[in-house]
Amino acid sequence: MIANVLEPDHGLVFDPACGSGGVFVQSAHFVERQRINPQMLTFKGLEKNPTTIRLAKMNLAVHGLEGDIQKAITYYEDPLALAGKVDYVMANPPFNVDEVDSKVDGDECLPFGLPGVNKSNKVSNGNYLWISYFYSYLNDRGKAGFVMSSQASSAGRDEGKVRQKLIETGTVDIMIAIRSNFFYTRSVPCELWFLDRGNPAELQDKILMIDARNIYRKVNRTINDFSPEQLQNILSIVWLYRSESKRFIDLVVGYCQSIDREYQGLIALLQNYRKHLDKLTEALEKFYNLIDEKDGTWLELRTASELFKDDMDKYAGFAPISYNADDLTDGSLKLPDRIKQIHKENFLQ
């Protein structure tokens, strides 16, 4: 999302909390999709962990990118001296840090002052330190996009004063609220902030705020993201805010063309279905005709079956035959009267 809103296509991309370099890779992927040579971008970053720096350099190398990543703690060090020189700042900094020494007060990269100091002489919350750094690194046409704690947009007291000063510069461009689990390192809801030092005059007293907390695609139980369509629809709001109506119209035309392609594909499937249906209908007609032709045979079979059933019922009605001594005459067995009667009734009529 950050790369798609900023659209970095040239110059210096800087991340003062670069971690493993994911932001740089996203930027490179964006310019590749726009058919722009990634070599048009220069990547620089700061990271305090030596192991993570090695991972970042490896990540860049795997994607065919080059970058200058220095070991530094951004709160206290600036080995690259990039204040006022950066075209694009992109970052996902740590949230709500409360261990930064107040000695950073007076730093040229903190033009809005400190967002409060606690009893331990530490900055009470580092969120606005990061936001101030991002603002200060930009050149006069630079843009920044970063992930920030949702608390930052509503924090009061000294943080609120820093936020007011920042807003009064006219550089706060867009804020997008997103739901939890959009980042592997973030399980809480957060916001995407976008600054534009070259914001046109007509937008300097405006901020586009988008609530996208209910727009998401579930990747798995612990990770959410935006589908391509969801991303495009959110970006279309940004385009309209920037008076880029042609891009919005092109998106709608693209959707209509996609619908037409799917419709044409459906027509082809229906035509194929109709052919199979006609063949099945023809086969059924032959079957029904055959039934009509053999109707007499079916009737004869049914009649014969009924007669056979009747005969079986009659024979099944025979009672068991018993004999006694009175039935014996001259040493031979007489036919019981019952058998004679049944024989007479059924076979001699």
Q: Is the pLDDT of residue 135 over 70?
A: yes
Span 155-164, average pLDDT: 93
pLDDT per residue as tens digits for the range 254-294: 999 999 888 888 887 777 777 888 888 888 777 777 777 66
Q: Can you give the pLDDT at residue 177?
A: 96
**Residue range 1-243 in CATH 1.10.357.10:** no
DSSP labels, 209-273:
EEEETT--EE-SSS-EE--HHHHHHHHHHHHHHTT-HHHHHHHHHHHHHHHHHHHHHHHHHHHHH
More confident site: 64 or 329: 64
Q: Residue ranges of the domains in the chain?
A: 1-243, 251-346
Using an 8 Å Cβ cutoff, are 169 and 214 in contact?
no
Q: Can you give the pLDDT at residue 168?
A: 96
72 half-sphere exposure, CB direction, 13 A CA radius: 18
Return d(Cα 14, Cα 66) in angstroms, integer: 13
* Mean pLDDT of the chain, nearest integer: 86
More confident site: 340 or 242: 242
Please state, for a pLDDT cut of 70, what percent of the chain lies above it: 87
- Model-level pTM? 0.75
What residue type is assigned to position 156 of the chain?
G
pLDDT per residue as tens digits for the range 76-131: 999 999 999 999 999 999 999 988 999 999 899 999 999 999 888 999 999 999 99
